[in-house]
Amino acid sequence: MFKNLKLKKYKSLHEFEDAHVINDSSSFSMLESYKIARTNIMFSLPKTEDGKIILVSSSEPGEGKTTASINLAYTFAQSGARVLLMDCDMRKPRVHRYLKISKDTGLSNVLCGFCSVDEAIQKNVFGTMDCIPVGEIPLNSAELLMSDVMKNLLADLSKKYDYIFIDTPPIMTVTDAMIIAPMTSGVVLVARENFSTYDMMDKTVDILRRAGVKILGFLMTYAEKSTKARYYGKKYYSKGYRYGYKYEYKDEANK
C-alpha cells in the first residue's frame, strides 16, 4: 500500500498521513481546498437540523478518511462553529494518534456505562475543536454502535454542537459505518487518487443509496501537487453517480 504513494521522504504510511493533518506549515492550496469543501458541505446539509452529524468514511483502508475527518472538523471549527470529532473506528483507531491525545477514556467507555460523556470529551484538542476518542477497544463494536445508548448520545450531543464529525471504519470492510450512517445528516466519502477504484466506489455508493443515506460529497485525497482546488456541483463522480455533490481537494504529496 505505502509503495503506491511513491514518497521516499516518509519512513512509513503513518508518517505520511500524519504530515497531511493541517498544521501551521500546511500549504495555501491545502487550506483553501478544505475551506471550499466546508462551504460545499454546508450547502448540502439540511437547514432545519440543529446539530449536523457528518459521517466520514471510505470504501477501503488507506484512502485517508481519518486525516480528512480531522481536517474537515478543524476547518469547520475555524468558522466559529461548535465542532466535535468522534472516533467511531473501534477496529483501527487513529484519531488519538494524529491529535496526540489519550484514547483510554472515550466512546466505548461511555457506551458501556463506565464514564459520562463529559468525562470522555477532550476540549480544544485541535484549535477550538473538541474530541471524543475511541476509548478502550471493545470486542463487540457493532453491537455498541447500534445500541439505543449510541442513538441517544448523538441526539444529546447534537444539541450542544453545531457539527459532529464521525470517523468510521471503511464501509466495504466491516458493518460499523453503515450502522451509524442512518443516524447522521449524511456521509462524505473519501477516495484516494491512483488507489481507489470505480468498482469499489460504485459498490459503496449503492450500499449507501439502498440504505437511504444522503451522500454529501466526495473528497479526493493525496492528489498530485497543485495550487488549484476545484468544485463540481451536481455532476458525475464517475459512471452512474448522478446524485449528491462532488468536491475535490488537491493535497500536496510532495512539499
- Give the model confidence (pLDDT) of 222-245 as tens digits: 665 543 333 333 333 332 222 223
Mean pLDDT across the chain, nearest whole number?
80
- Give the model confidence (pLDDT) of 8-31 as tens digits: 444 444 555 555 788 767 778 788
Q: Which residues contact 91 (CB under 8 A, 6 or more apart)?
A: 141, 169, 173, 174, 176
The residue type of 135 is G
Cell of 50: 440543529
Q: Flag whether pLDDT at 250 surpasses 50.
A: no
Task: Kindly report the number of other CB atoms within 10 A of residue 28's CB atom.
Answer: 9
| 51-55, 104-108, 121-125, 216-220: range with lowest mean pLDDT | 216-220
Task: Identify any residues that bridge with 215 across adjacent strands, giving them in sequence order.
Answer: 187
Q: CA-CA distance, 39 to 199, in Å (whole number)?
A: 29
Q: CA-CA distance, 89 to 174, in Å (whole number)?
A: 10
The band of 216, judged by pLDDT with boundaries at 50, 70 and 90, is: very high
Q: CA-CA distance, 205 to 207, in Å (whole number)?
A: 5
The band of 32, judged by pLDDT with boundaries at 50, 70 and 90, is: confident
- Give the model confidence (pLDDT) of 39-98 as tens digits: 999 988 877 667 799 999 987 777 788 999 999 999 999 999 999 999 999 988 999 999
If DSSP codes are grouped into helix, strand and coil, which group holds residue 191?
strand
Question: What confidence score (pLDDT) does residue 223 get?
Answer: 63
If DSSP codes are grouped into helix, strand and coil, which group holds residue 228?
coil
Domains in the chain (CATH in brackets) are 31-248 (3.40.50.300)
Q: Flag whether pLDDT at 156 surpasses 80.
A: yes
* Mean pLDDT computed over 170-187: 92
Task: Identify any residues that bridge with 57 across adjacent strands, giving them in sequence order.
Answer: 189
Is residue 67 exposed (0-12), middle (13-18) or buried (19+ Cβ within 10 Å)?
A: buried
C-alpha dist (Å) from residue 223 to 64, 72, 192, 252: 11, 17, 7, 7
Question: What confidence score (pLDDT) does residue 245 get?
Answer: 35
**First CA to last CA distance, the chain:** 21
CA neighbours within 13 Å on the CB side: how many for 214?
A: 13
